[in-house]
Amino acid sequence: MPEYSGANAVGTWITATGTTTLTGNQRSIDYTPSVDLYEATAGSDAAKTYIAGVKSGQLSMTLLSQTGGTALMAELAEGKVGTINNLALGTTANEPTMTFPAISQGVTRAAPYADLVTLNVSWQQNGSRTDA
């Protein structure tokens, strides 16, 4: 499989108030899966052992801030519930996609003196992830 760039990635955030396209001005999209681990060490065990529990994940994006972006900020507000769709290679047929229900953790902003203003937003996975 050939390598590819994240420049063509497409992300959408679907909520009760509409669908927001999150790409076109993205710098990065990062998904981090996780699983709860339950310690099962007992008795004369010489090393810790674990049992895998429930799965979860978090998606974060860094976007270039745009002027007049109040509608975007409202859609990304902390506590907003919706569905994340992430198409790593854009809308090309038969390429990997990931979809999951999520809760927005809100937006942080970075406004450096001599660089572009960025928005950093993250979502907590809120149910099962579908990979296609």
Tell me if 44 is assigned to some domain: no
pTM: 0.85
Which tokens belong to 34? 């996780």
pLDDT per residue as tens, the chain (132 positions): 566 667 777 888 999 999 998 877 888 888 999 999 999 999 999 999 999 999 999 999 998 888 777 888 899 999 999 999 987 766 666 778 889 999 999 999 888 888 888 999 999 999 999 988
Q: Domain of 56: which CATH number?
A: 2.40.30
* CA 9 to centroid of chain Cα atoms: 12
Query: Pick from 90, 99, 62, 94: which is nearest to 5 by CA?
Result: 90
Does residue 13 fall inside a structural domain?
yes
Give the C-alpha separation, 124 to 132, whole Å. Answer: 20
* Count of beta carbons in the 10 Å neighbourhood of residue 121: 23
For the chain, give the number of residues. 132
Q: How many domains does the chain have?
A: 1
Q: For residue 56, what are the CA distances in angstroms to 37, 40, 59, 65, 124?
A: 12, 20, 10, 28, 8
How far, in Å, CA of 126 to CA of 41, rounded?
Answer: 29
Range of the domain at 69: 6-37+49-131
Does 1 reside within a domain?
Answer: no
Q: pLDDT tens, 79-111?
A: 999 999 987 766 666 778 889 999 999 999 888
